[in-house]
Amino acid sequence: MGRPKQFDPDVAVNKAMELFWRKGFAETTPQDLVAELGIGKGSLYSTFFSKRALFDLALQRYVEMRVAGVVETLERPGPVTERLRVALLRLADTDVTPTPRGCLAVNTAVELAGCDEVAAEVVGRLFDRIEAAFQAVIEEGQRSGEITAGRDSRQLASLILASFIGMSVLAKTTDAQRLRRTIDAVMAAL
């Protein structure tokens, strides 16, 4: 009979997500993981099987958190343009930390998507879901008159998504003022 787990795997996935977010997949070693999670290598492998399997769980956790946060913000009551601005500010502010990390999904796309179909698919689904949420709120704004009707809502949603992705890259190298100017420009384009 094996010993019971002395750690919470759910908490370990969150800690691993933070580590992968800071360092990326390739730069995170199994030793980094055991140190961050406070567990032994045996526990790491018996619970998660591999660094990659743990990364996949961490990335999926991040995707669910990111989508939930964006959707929750966009579905609040109030003016559509204000909800869009708040969603973009939230995405940008999440990415501006003392040690800028950008967005784990965008970082993964840059690091792995060109050579890893699974990572590309997970990140692609995130982008699809965020773009669909943007499109739905744009269409709501067009119906209410806040956003010019007759403009292609999918194109506008793609513009906002591309701006978010660009802001995630910028967040790793620039200050919050540039990100806020970008948000202002996106909002003006609507």
Report CA-CA distances (Å) from 58 to 2, 17, 183: 26, 5, 28
Residue 1 domain-assigned? no
Residue 2 domain-assigned? no
- Residue type, position 24, single letter: G
Domain count along the chain = 1
Other beta carbons within 10 Å of 29: 12
pLDDT in tens, 7-66: 899 999 999 999 999 999 999 999 999 999 999 999 999 999 999 999 999 999 999 998
CATH number of the domain to which 124 belongs: 1.10.357.10
In 59-91, which positions are buried (b, 16+ CB within 10 angstroms) versus exposed (e)? Answer: bebbbeebbeebbebbeeeeebbebbbbbbeeb
> pLDDT category, 115, cuts 50, 70, 90?
very high
pLDDT of residue 84: 95
Residue 4 domain-assigned? no
pLDDT of residue 125: 94
Taking the C-alpha atoms of residue 123 and residue 90, their distance in angstroms, rounded to an integer, is: 19
Computed over every residue of the chain, the mean pLDDT equals 91
Long-range contacts of 147-154 (CB under 8 A, 24+ apart): 147/80, 147/81, 147/190, 148/190
Residue 148 domain-assigned? yes
Taking the C-alpha atoms of residue 160 and residue 135, their distance in angstroms, rounded to an integer, is: 9
Residue 3 domain-assigned? no
Residue 48 domain-assigned? yes
Residue 74: CB partners within 8 Å, gap ≥ 6? 83, 84, 87, 133, 134, 136, 137
Res. 174: pLDDT tops 80: no
Res. 138: pLDDT tops 90: yes
Other beta carbons within 10 Å of 19: 21
Window from 1-5, 51-55, 92-96, 168-172 with minimum mean pLDDT = 1-5
Residue 114 domain-assigned? yes
Task: State residue 76 phi and psi, 5-degree precision.
Answer: -65, 160
pLDDT of residue 94: 53
Residue 183: CB partners within 8 Å, gap ≥ 6? 85, 88, 89, 92, 163, 167
What is the extent of the structural domain holding 40? 9-189
For Cα atoms 137, 153, 161, give the angle at the middle one, nearest 5 degrees.
75
Taking the whole predicted model, whether its pTM rises above 0.85 is answered as: yes
The mean pLDDT of 117-146, rounded to a whole number, is 96
pLDDT of residue 1: 47
